[in-house]
Chain A
Amino acid sequence: MEVIAKRLADTLVLSPAGRIDHATAEVFKTALAPSLAGCAAGRDCVVIDLASVEYISSVGLRVLMLASKQAKTQGGALGVCALQPVVREIFEISRFHLVLQVFPTLRDALAKLSAEALAAHDAA
C-alpha cells in the first residue's frame, strides 16, 4: 500500500490508496506514525484523505481509531475526508462517522482544521 504525504502549511495530508485490510493495515499504521508524532497542540494537523481507498476493514478502522486517540492525547487535530460511497457506508454501519471527524472533501476538512492550510490549498 502506498501512502502519499503532502504538506499544506501546518497540515499534513496523507493519501492512502487501495484496500486497507488485514494484509495492509500494518503498513498503513507504520506510514501514519511519523505524521502522528507531530500532530499536537500548536503543531501539525493531520488529514487522512481516503479518496483513493476503495475498501477499509475493521482492522483498518482500528488504525484510524488509534490515530485519532493519539492525536487527541497530544492535543492535536485529526480528520478524515473524501470517503468513497462504499467506504462511507462502512463508516456508517460501524458508527465510525460518530467518533471520528469526517468531512465530505479535503477542502471541507482544511476549512475546519486550519485556515493557513486552506489558504495554501486554494492558492495551489
Chain B
Amino acid sequence: MLVRFWGTRGSIPVAMSSAEIKRKLVAALVQAAGRGLHTAAQAREFIEHELDFAVSHTFGGNTSCVQIDAGHRDYVLCDLGSGARVFANSIMATRGPTGHTFHVLMSHMHWDHIQGFPFFMPAYIPGNRIRLYGCHERLEEALRRQNAAPSFPVDFSRMGADIEFVRLEPGCEYEIAGLAVRSKVQRHGGDSYGYRIERDGRSVVYSTDSEHKQDDTDEVRAFVEFFREADLVIFDSQYSLADAHSVKEDWGHSSNVVGVEMCQLARARRLCLYHHEPTSDDERLAALLTETRRFEEITRAEHPVEIIAAYDGLEITL
C-alpha cells in the first residue's frame, strides 16, 4: 500500500513568499560556497544529501488530499482540498482525461476539505466516475453549493462525469476499491470523520480535523482502539498543546503531543504530522518535527513510534 500526500496544509492554502525563497537561496549558497559544485548532478547530490529539508524543500501549501494506492485500477482519495487539483492534473497528464473511477472519502465539508473539487478536471469530463463517500447528511448539498452562483461560474450540473454520493454509517466496515474502510466520528465543528483503511494486513488511519479531550477517558479509549497497531496514523497536529487547551480550545484541532501519546497507547508504528498550521513556515514545521521526535524519545516506554511530517509530494510505502 502506498500513501501519497497531495495536500497537507490546514485551514487555507498558502504559498511561499519571495522573501522565504530568498532566505532558502541565501542559506543554500552560503552552505555551497567552496564545495566545487560544477555540474547539475553535483548540485542535485548536494541538495538531496547535505542541505536541511527546510532549505532544500518545502512542506507545501495545498490543503487536505491524500491518495491511498493499493494497486487497484480505481483511485482512492481522502478529502478534496486544493491538493486534489494537483492530483487530478497529474492523472490526466499521465493517464489521459477519461475512463477513470475515483473514490473519495470525505472527512467533512469545511472549505479546506472541499475547495479542490471545482478545479478537479475529471469531474467535468464524461466517461469518468466519481464516488463521494461520507457520513454527513449534507455532503451533496455542500459540494453543489460550492459549484454554484454566486460563488463559482460553472454550476455543479455542468459536471459531465458520473457523480454519486454514498452515505456511510460510522463504525461499519465497507469494501471500497479493494480496501476495507471504517469511519469514526471526531470532535470538530459540525463533526468530522476519521477513516481506518486496511488491505493485506496493512493499515492507515486518516484522522484530521479532530480535537481530543484527554480527560475524556471513553473518548481516548475509543481513539486508541481506532488507531490500534496501525502502520500509519495521519494526525491533525495543527496546534501546540497549550493553544489547543487555551485560546484555541474547541476550535476542533489537535497537537503533536497528543498524537504521540495516542500512538504510543495504540502501539501504532508511525505517526504522520498533518494539517499543518498555515502560519508556520518551513523552518517552523521542521522544528516541530524535531521537537516531536524528541518528545517521543523522552516519553517512550518500550514501544517506539516513528515520527514523520507530511509534505506535499511525500510518498510512504506501508
Asked if A22 lies at the interface with its beta carbon under 8 angstroms from chain B, I say yes
Question: Complex: how many Å from CA A62 to CA B246?
Answer: 9
Asked if B165 lies at the interface with its beta carbon under 8 angstroms from chain A, I say no
How distant is B56 from chain A, measured CB to nearest CB, in Å? 25
Give the interface centre of B217, B245, B246 by most chain A CB atoms within 10 Å.
Answer: B245
Asked if A124 lies at the interface with its beta carbon under 8 angstroms from chain B, I say no
Asked if A61 meets B245 with Cβ closer than 8 Å, knowing A25-B215, A89-B298, the reply is yes
How distant is B235 from chain A, measured CB to nearest CB, in Å? 13
How distant is B301 from chain A, measured CB to nearest CB, in Å? 10
Interface residues in A81-111 (C-beta closer than 8 Å to B): 86, 89-90, 92-96, 98-99
Nearest neighbor of B242 in chain A, beta-carbon distance: A95
Question: Complex: how many Å from CA A14 to CA B9?
Answer: 42
Asked if A94 meets B241 with Cβ closer than 8 Å, knowing A22-B217, A58-B261, the reply is yes
Interface contact B215-A93, CB-CB below 8 Å: no
Asked if A99 meets B246 with Cβ closer than 8 Å, knowing A25-B215, A57-B261, A58-B258, the reply is yes
The DSSP consensus for interface residues of chain A is helix
Nearest neighbor of A89 in chain B, beta-carbon distance: B298
How distant is B292 from chain A, measured CB to nearest CB, in Å? 7
* B contact residues vs A (CB 8 Å cutoff): 214-215, 217, 220, 240-243, 245-246, 255-258, 261, 291-292, 294-295, 298-299
26 of the cross-chain contacts (CB-CB < 8 Å) are A22-B214, A22-B220, A57-B261, A57-B299, A58-B214, A58-B257, A59-B214, A61-B242, A65-B242, A65-B246, A90-B257, A90-B295, A90-B299, A92-B291, A93-B257, A93-B291, A93-B292, A93-B294, A93-B295, A94-B242, A94-B257, A95-B241, A96-B241, A96-B242, A99-B242, A99-B245
